[in-house]
């Protein structure tokens, strides 16, 4: 009987130890599961941050590459503009010398003609001298016209060079310059204006398009002809739809 009782007590004690160990193990397992869930959530969080950072880094690298390419293209355009400006300046100096020479020849011819007439030359001789004078004057007129064209081209190159060297500056236009929209292309966002080189418009000059005194959009001139120019509607300035017949005035008039 005593042996049975001892055996029962031992069994009960073993069961108590087993129960105690079970609860201790369960508590540790619960703690480990909680820690695992916490670490898993933190891992997901930092994985998301890594993915976002990696995406932003790739975007930044792409933007830097684009900026570098744009800078290289702008530098090349600036160098080309500087070279053209130097060439135009040299050509203008040569033309000015030719013009001075032509003026001197004309004055000499006039002096000779006056002297010959005073000396009583024959009509034939005077006619010949007059023809020569007209030829010289014609040459002079051509040289003056070429000089004006060259001066205008030189001014355009100077504006382009100034735009590359000082991109923050705006191209100014004559204060009295007014234009009208002739054609509108909404697909490619450009308009055709009835102003050009003859009206002293300039490339990259900005015009305010208005209708009945109300602002509609701002456009920037991209290319010109004698009496026409093509301009693009500037993003962020399109208050309304540009229409044929709208008026345009300089956004930055000359003082």
Q: Is pLDDT above 90 for 217?
A: yes
Q: How confident is the model at residue 255 (pLDDT cuts 50, 70, 90)?
A: confident
Higher pLDDT, 220 or 89: 220
Measuring CA to CA, which residue among 179, 184, 162 is closest to residue 171?
Answer: 162
Tell me what pLDDT residue 116 has.
Answer: 64
Averaged over 234-251, what is the pLDDT?
93
Domain 179-250 class, CATH top level: mainly beta
Number of Cβ atoms within 10 Å of the Cβ of 206: 20
Long-range CB contacts (within 8 A, 24+) of 159-167: 159/202, 159/203, 159/204, 160/81, 160/203, 161/78, 161/81, 161/82, 161/85, 163/204, 164/74, 164/77, 164/78, 164/81, 165/78
pTM check: above 0.75: no
Higher pLDDT, 83 or 5: 83
């Amino acid at each position: 009987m005593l042996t049975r009782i001892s055996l029962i007590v031992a069994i009960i004690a073993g069961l108590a130890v087993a129960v105690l160990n079970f609860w201790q193990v369960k508590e540790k397992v619960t703690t480990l599961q909680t820690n695992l869930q916490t670490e898993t959530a933190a891992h997901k969080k930092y994985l998301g941050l890594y993915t976002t950072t990696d995406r932003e880094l790739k975007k930044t690298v792409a933007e830097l590459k684009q900026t570098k390419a744009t800078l290289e293209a702008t530098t090349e355009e600036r160098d080309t503009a500087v070279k053209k400006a130097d060439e135009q300046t040299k050509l203008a100096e040569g033309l000015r010398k030719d013009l001075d020479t032509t003026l001197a020849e004309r004055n000499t011819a006039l002096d000779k003609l006056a002297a010959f007439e005073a000396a009583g030359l024959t009509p034939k001789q005077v006619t010949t001298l007059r023809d020569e004078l007209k030829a010289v004057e014609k040459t002079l007129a051509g040289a003056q016209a070429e000089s004006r064209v060259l001066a205008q081209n030189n001014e355009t190159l100077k504006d382009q060079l100034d735009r590359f060297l000082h991109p923050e500056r705006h191209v100014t236009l004559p204060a009295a310059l007014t234009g009208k929209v002739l054609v509108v292309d909404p697909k490619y966002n450009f308009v055709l204006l009835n102003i050009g080189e003859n009206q002293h418009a300039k490339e990259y000059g900005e015009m305010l398009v208005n209708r009945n005194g109300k602002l509609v959009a701002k456009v920037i001139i991209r290319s010109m002809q004698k009496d026409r120019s093509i301009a693009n509607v500037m993003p962020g300035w399109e208050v309304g739809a540009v229409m044929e017949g709208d008026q345009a005035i300089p956004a930055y008039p000359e003082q």
